[in-house]
Amino acid sequence: MDDPRTSVDAIHVNEQPTAVEAIERLDTREVQPVVVPPLTELLGHVTPAKDSAFAELPARVSSRIGLFLRTEALEAFLQMYDAAEKDGIILTALSATRPFSHQAFIWNRKWKHPQAMGMAPLARARDILKYSSMPGTSRHHWGTDVDIYSLEPSDFDAGEGAKVVAWLRSHAGTFGFVEVYTEDEHRTGYQPEAWHWSYIPLSGPFLQAINDANDKGTLPPLEGFEGAFVADSLHVIRDYVNGINAKLGE
């Protein structure tokens, strides 16, 4: 009688819509209009712990304390987490919102790493950009994106990790989450990241706002970290920020 598959959630889950269908479905729902935060926030100048637009992930769904998402994205993540758990899949969140200062710490540490010392600035930046965003350009600044299960690509090739990503690819769209850095040879930018999922009802309009500002020349400059001067020559907005799952641009 208590078979979870008879619940409304399970029925939705089993419909397995594509990401685009899920987005269309979300678009037609009665939802609050999306409020796009100021550009400075989208460039990472946020303090999630002190901002009422964000909420902390409960310990049961995350690998450590202090992970935050925007409240709407967190609500959707928790629904997705519970649905996966019913299917025996555990979607542990490893990373969520990362402010500019945190991203700059990661970037500067890699920039000054002994292995990078012999490299010219452009090559050094390109090497870091395989997996890490330039400060100011990370989707993790937005509070809409979450890293799930493992940050090691090979962990998704077999075993539990393969089950996790297969579940996400079948079901995450129902909850508004979309894989961003897909394995697509035509995609520019970062290496594939099976762990990185984005709450598209918010991150879609946020990306649009960044692109609109960039087109108009009103996007604040990328600065305040090592090697910031190579940002323009690397076309980070065009090739990295927009180097995403082609379905997201449809």
Residues that bind Zn ion (CB under 5 A): 147, 196
> Distances in Å between the alpha carbon of 149 and those of 90, 130, 146?
8, 20, 10
Q: Cβ distance 81 to 131 under 8 Å?
A: no
By C-beta, is 13 or 194 nearer to Zn ion?
A: 194
Q: What minimum distance in Å lies between the beta carbon of 226 and Zn ion?
A: 21
Report the nearest approach of Zn ion to the CB of residue 193 (Å).
6
Q: Least CB distance from residue 180 to Zn ion, whole Å?
A: 8
Bridge partner residues of 147 (DSSP): 95, 196
Residue with smaller CB distance to Zn ion, 13 or 110: 110
Report the candidate in 120, 62, 136 with the shortest Cα–Cα distance to residue 94: 62
> Which C-beta is closer to Zn ion: that of 147 or that of 179?
147
**Shortest CB 216 distance to Zn ion, Å:** 28
63 contacts 94 by C-beta, under 8 angstroms: yes
What residue number has its CB nearest to Zn ion?
196
Q: How far apart are alpha carbons 47 and 59 in whole angstroms?
A: 20
Query: Whole-angstrom Cα distance, residue 112 to residue 117?
Result: 7
Closest to Zn ion by CB, 13 or 91: 91
